[in-house]
Amino acid sequence: MFCEPLESDAFIAAGARHPMIPKGVSVTLVEPQYPVNVGHVARLLMNFGVGKLYLVRPKVDISVAAMYASHASKVLDDAIVTTLETVRSENELLVATTAVRASKTSNVIRRTVGPELLHDILSSARTSSLVFGRDSTGLRNEEIELCDTTTTIETAPGYRALNVGHAAAIALYLASRGSGRKRSAQSRKAREIFAKSLMDLGGASRAPRHRTQNLFEVGKRIAGASGLTDRQLNLMSGVFRKAVSAIDSSQDADSKT
């Protein structure tokens, strides 16, 4: 049923570079519905050396999915059935995948980065997960909000949505292709402090309420794609806080005159 390709001696002798997924990367499937897709994704994890699979409220019979996993059935045996909130708490970085991009500039969470940046983004965190949505409807807005950045794979406008297994294959392949240089470490805490300080600055500047609320998501995603270190993010956060303090002091002085 399954054909296993063989590497030729010439290919091995040529020193072809094997794919290298950044350490600590996992894959999360949210409410997977079709066992064939779950089986194929399990096989992909073994192909690319990904060590962990999260299944959020799976709708499939794992024993059936194992039939499609070939030699990767152990990945399914070891899969963690959990909630997306738990995946969030266990990982420094979550990357949402979607075929539905923002149609309005205010829809910050669905503004995407190119998948060619995945290797660099994922390598900035000790633990991270690529999050794939439902086979039919993908990820909901509240699920994407739990993630730090969002990516999409460009397809023809007539039919943008990829099969989950195909999307995972492309994403993992691109995530394995990088410069080989380790990106500076960046923590979830530093990203969220940066995002909160940016939101506070917007509020102090009397920006419209809906725009101020968007600034947290904007800041989180800017930080995630920036490549800045925790120290650099904290430095900028400190500048934002000082600006908020200066604005507040100025407004207090004006109110007393």
Tell me the whole-structure pTM to 2 decimals. 0.80
Higher pLDDT among residues 252 and 45, named by residue: 45
pLDDT greater than 70 at residue 133 = yes
pLDDT at 3: 47
Higher pLDDT among residues 90 and 186, named by residue: 90
pLDDT at 1: 38
Which two structure tokens, joined as six digits, stand for 248? 């507040």
Domains contained in the chain, CATH given: 20-175 (3.40.1280.10), 188-256 (no CATH)
pLDDT at 205: 84
For the chain, what is the mean pLDDT?
A: 85
Q: Are 110 and 98 in contact (CB under 8 A)?
A: yes
Cα–Cα distance measured from residue 161 to residue 99, given in angstroms and rounded to the nearest whole number: 5
pLDDT at 210: 73
Cα–Cα distance measured from residue 65 to residue 38, given in angstroms and rounded to the nearest whole number: 6
- Residues listed for the chain: 257
pLDDT at 79: 97
Higher pLDDT among residues 101 and 205, named by residue: 205
Q: Mind listing the pLDDT tens digit for each residue in 185-205?
A: 788 899 999 999 999 998 888
Residue with tokens 């002798």: 13
pLDDT at 8: 39
